[in-house]
Structure formats: C-alpha cells, structure tokens
C-alpha cells in the first residue's frame, strides 16, 4: 500500500488519506454538482450546486470514516490491534497488524461496517423526513443524497468478493464450515476479481452506448477493486506465511564484513567481485559501524577509489537500517520495501550477529508456501 497524508487520530487510530482521494473527491463533487443535484432538485443556481456537491462529498467522507471506524473499533475490542486506517473515497483499508485467527471474529469485524452504513442511511432518512422540502430544498436534497449513498455503500460493500466486507463475510462462513482458511481466501478473492472485471467491462459498454459518467465510475471502481483484490490477497499470504517468524530464525549468521580502514579499490577487488553481494557490513575495531553498498561505491569517481576509505563513504547505522534479532520478519520486509534496501545488518548489543536479505525472506516464504499448499 502506498503511503498517504496523515490527518488526525480518533479512538487511538491514525486516519490517513490516500493521494488518489483528492482526485476522486474533485471528480465526485463535480459529478454531483453537474449531474446528480440539478437532476434531483432543479431550479437552483450553478454556484449552489457546486456548494452542495462539495458539502455532500465531505459528508460522504465522514460516512466512510464512520463505516471504517466501526470495523476498526470492533477489531480492537476483539483483540486485534489496528493503528492506522487509510481512506479512499468509497472506503478504507485498515492496517491489521495481525489477521484474525477465528472465523467468528472475522465475521463480526466484517459486518460492523455495513451495519454502521445501514444505521446512517436510516438516520439520514429520518432527518430528511423532518425537513420541509419547500422551505429548505438544499438540506433536504443533501439528506436525500446521504440516504442513497449510505445504501450504495452498504450494498456495494456486501458484494461477496474479497477484500470487500461481503467477501470477508463469505470467507468467514466458508472458513467456519470447512476449517480451510486458505481455500476460503482464494475463493473469496477470485469472486472479488471476477466482480471487478464485470464492472470494468460493463463500464466500457456504458461508455460505448453514450453513458460516459456512469461508465467511467464503473471502470474506476472496477480497477480499484481489482487491485485491492490482488494486493490484499498477496499481502494476506505474505502475512500468514511469515507470521511469528523472527529475524533470528532466518538471518544468515556467517557474515562477510569489510574493515572500515580499507580503500574502496580493495573493497571492490576483494569483496564485491569475490562475493557478489550488493552490500557489506563495515566493521571498525570489532564493532559494526555501517553498511557499504554498490551505490556508495558508485557515488565516488573511479580514480579516487585508491585514496578513499570505506568508512568515509559507507552508510552509517541508524535505528531504521539496523535489525534486532527479535524483530519480526514482516516488520523487516516492510522496512526493506519502504526504504528500497535489500540487506539489513542484525545487531545485538552493538555486536553484529547476522545479516538479513530480501532473498532470505523469499526463500522462507517459498519453502513455507510449498509446505502449506498456498500456491
């Protein structure tokens, strides 16, 4: 998942916005202002429609937030820790540090969001019933939109394709009745992908027959869903395969180190050419002080390799680029991906005890995947 913009914290949960949110927000406000509201409450000015579109899109954001918080609040109460939710315009992705290991827990978490959307739809329906449509056409129209959009959120999320809530419900029921979570996940995400393709195809057909806006939305949501189904399935596999494994269990213990006082030309000749690793821990007086990577070497002109010392161009150690043997492999992999680094030194009490590479993690994954029949 790409990062987003951190907004605020509610109930101990960090709320972030995905970057795509802004684009879709503008598109959505625009299509409300030029399509939905002029059709449903004619006779108002263009400026008023724009205002209604903007306010309604913001309120949609609040409704989506309440939907997502219901999932997260339930999850936290059932013992799964959720620290961050990233919101897209029609939904969010909660960062589960751990997958539920009980089908009933999964079912309760999955149903909490749609229940909240249902309650919101009823709430706005009651509010609308109290508003005089003749006197207050604008609040009346906005309340009506919120009834519709919450029903849409409810119905859309209950489509039985993973990672939508309905897909999670299907997965939980399948899992509960067969005990096979792997197969349950695979089936649910295949249905999710199938539905995404259906949306994309019907979207293009709609565009062909002239319904441009409706078709475009269908394609956009289909693409989003397709990526979500693909991505969350892969993530789930990675999480479940690597769950509980610590850096200590998979790191390479015999580490080739470079002395900080060597020249770069010696480092290249004796280490990079010899061992074919992309980086080496650097040791000074028996203590690990940094990492020397091919990129560090490349940043120096070749005719200066003779006169440059390893310790002068290496990457110094920070809390970010060092692992402890007790760190989880999932955490290490997340850091590797976000920092674009392939190898981390493993240090305990200032002493180098091993090195962990992406390749080490992939090997473990492959091995476990074969044993568990994931692939």
Please report how close the Cβ of residue 68 comes to Zn ion at its closest, in angstroms: 7
With contacts defined by CB under 5 A, name the span among 45-53, 113-121, 254-262, 269-277 that binds Zn ion: 113-121
The two structure tokens encoding residue 370: 């074969």
Residue closer to Zn ion (CB basis): 84 or 165: 165
Instruction: Please state, in angstroms and rounded to a whole number, the distance separating the CA atoms of residues 264 and 309.
Output: 6
Q: Which of residues 217-246 bind Zn ion (CB under 5 A)?
A: none
Return the bridge partners of 39, or none. Answer: none
Q: Which of residues 152-171 bind Zn ion (CB under 5 A)?
A: 157, 165
Instruction: Please state, in angstroms and rounded to a whole number, the distance separating the CA atoms of residues 345 and 315.
Output: 12
Radius of gyration of the chain (CA): 26
With contacts defined by CB under 5 A, name the span among 53-61, 149-157, 198-206, 264-272 that binds Zn ion: 149-157
Instruction: Please state, in angstroms and rounded to a whole number, the distance separating the CA atoms of residues 127 and 131.
Output: 7
The two structure tokens encoding residue 165: 């809530």
Q: H helices within the chain, ranges in order?
A: 20-31, 37-40, 46-77, 103-130, 137-157, 165-178, 181-208, 212-242, 247-250, 264-267, 273-275, 294-298, 310-313, 329-339, 358-372
Instruction: Please state, in angstroms and rounded to a whole number, the distance separating the CA atoms of residues 266 and 258.
Output: 10
Residue closer to Zn ion (CB basis): 63 or 264: 63
Residue closer to Zn ion (CB basis): 53 or 113: 113
Please report how close the Cβ of residue 238 comes to Zn ion at its closest, in angstroms: 22
Name the residue with tokens 């620290």: 83
Q: What sign results for the dihedral spanned by CA atoms 142, 145, 150, 151?
A: positive
Residue closer to Zn ion (CB basis): 17 or 330: 17
With contacts defined by CB under 5 A, name the span among 18-26, 105-113, 189-197, 307-315 that binds Zn ion: 105-113
Residue closer to Zn ion (CB basis): 94 or 267: 94
Q: Which of residues 259-318 bind Zn ion (CB under 5 A)?
A: none
Residue closer to Zn ion (CB basis): 157 or 189: 157
Q: H helices within 243-351, ranges in order?
A: 247-250, 264-267, 273-275, 294-298, 310-313, 329-339
Size of the site for Zn ion (CB under 5 A): 3
Please report how close the Cβ of residue 186 comes to Zn ion at its closest, in angstroms: 21
Q: Which residues contact 34 (CB under 8 A, 6 or more apart)?
A: 49, 53
Please report how close the Cβ of residue 78 comes to Zn ion at its closest, in angstroms: 15
Q: Is 190 left (phi over 0), alpha (psi -120 to 50) or beta?
A: alpha
Residue closer to Zn ion (CB basis): 158 or 352: 158
Residue with the CB atom nearest Zn ion in the bound state: 113
Instruction: Please state, in angstroms and rounded to a whole number, the distance separating the CA atoms of residues 343 and 336.
Output: 8
Please report how close the Cβ of residue 115 comes to Zn ion at its closest, in angstroms: 10
Please report how close the Cβ of residue 191 comes to Zn ion at its closest, in angstroms: 16
Residue closer to Zn ion (CB basis): 165 or 360: 165
Please report how close the Cβ of residue 169 comes to Zn ion at its closest, in angstroms: 10
What mask, x for binding Zn ion by CB under 5 A, covers residues 11 to 50?
A: ----------------------------------------
Q: Verify binding: residue 106, Zn ion, rule CB under 5 A.
A: no
Specify whether the CB–CB gap between 85 and 68 falls below 8 A.
yes
Please report how close the Cβ of residue 165 comes to Zn ion at its closest, in angstroms: 4
With contacts defined by CB under 5 A, name the span among 24-32, 112-120, 213-221, 323-331 that binds Zn ion: 112-120
* Nearest in space to 144 (alpha carbons), one of 30, 62, 70, 136: 136
Q: What angle do CA 89, 87, 200 make, to 5 degrees?
A: 45
Q: Verify binding: residue 113, Zn ion, rule CB under 5 A.
A: yes
With contacts defined by CB under 5 A, name the span among 55-63, 80-88, 110-118, 238-246 that binds Zn ion: 110-118
* Nearest in space to 364 (alpha carbons), one of 240, 270, 263, 224: 240
Please report how close the Cβ of residue 188 comes to Zn ion at its closest, in angstroms: 14
Please report how close the Cβ of residue 74 comes to Zn ion at its closest, in angstroms: 11
Residue closer to Zn ion (CB basis): 91 or 222: 91
Binding site for Zn ion (CB under 5 A): 113, 157, 165
């Amino acid at each position: 998942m790409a990062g987003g913009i951190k907004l605020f914290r509610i109930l101990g949960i960090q709320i972030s916005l995905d970057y795509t949110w802004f684009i879709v927000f503008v598109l959505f406000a625009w299509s409300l202002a030029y399509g939905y509201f002029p059709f449903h409450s004619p006779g108002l000015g263009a400026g008023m429609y724009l205002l209604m579109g903007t306010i309604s899109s913001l309120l949609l954001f609040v409704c989506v937030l309440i939907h997502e918080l219901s999932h997260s609040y339930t999850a936290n109460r059932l013992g799964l820790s959720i620290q961050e939710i990233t919101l897209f315009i029609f939904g969010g992705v909660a960062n589960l540090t751990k997958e539920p290991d009980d089908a009933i827990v999964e079912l309760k978490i999955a149903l909490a969001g749609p229940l909240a959307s249902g309650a919101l739809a009823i709430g706005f329906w009651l509010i609308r019933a109290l508003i005089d449509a003749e006197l207050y056409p604008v609040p009346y129209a906005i309340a009506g939109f919120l009834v519709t959009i919450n029903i849409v959120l409810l119905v859309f999320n209950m489509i039985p394709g993973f990672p939508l809530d309905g897909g999670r419900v299907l997965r939980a029921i399948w899992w509960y009745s067969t005990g096979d979570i792997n197969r349950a996940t695979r089936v649910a995400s295949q249905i999710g992908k199938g539905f995404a393709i259906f949306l994309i195809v019907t979207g293009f057909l709609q565009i062909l027959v002239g319904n441009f806006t409706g078709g475009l939305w269908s394609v956009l949501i289909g693409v989003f869903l397709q990526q979500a189904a693909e991505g969350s399935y892969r993530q789930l596999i990675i999480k479940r395969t690597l769950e509980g494994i610590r850096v200590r269990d998979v790191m390479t213990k015999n580490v080739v180190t470079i002395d900080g006082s060597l020249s770069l030309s010696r480092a290249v000749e004796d280490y990079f050419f010899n061992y074919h690793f992309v980086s080496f821990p650097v040791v000074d007086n028996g203590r690990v002080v940094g990492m020397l990577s091919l990129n560090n070497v490349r940043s120096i002109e070749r005719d200066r390799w003779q006169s440059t010392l390893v310790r002068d161009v290496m990457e110094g150690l920070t809390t970010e680029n060092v692992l402890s043997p007790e760190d989880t492999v999932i955490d290490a992999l997340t850091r590797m991906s976000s920092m674009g680094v392939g190898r981390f030194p493993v240090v305990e009490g200032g002493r180098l005890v091993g090195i962990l590479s992406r390749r080490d993690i992939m090997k473990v994954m492959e091995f476990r995947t074969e044993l568990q029949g994931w692939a």
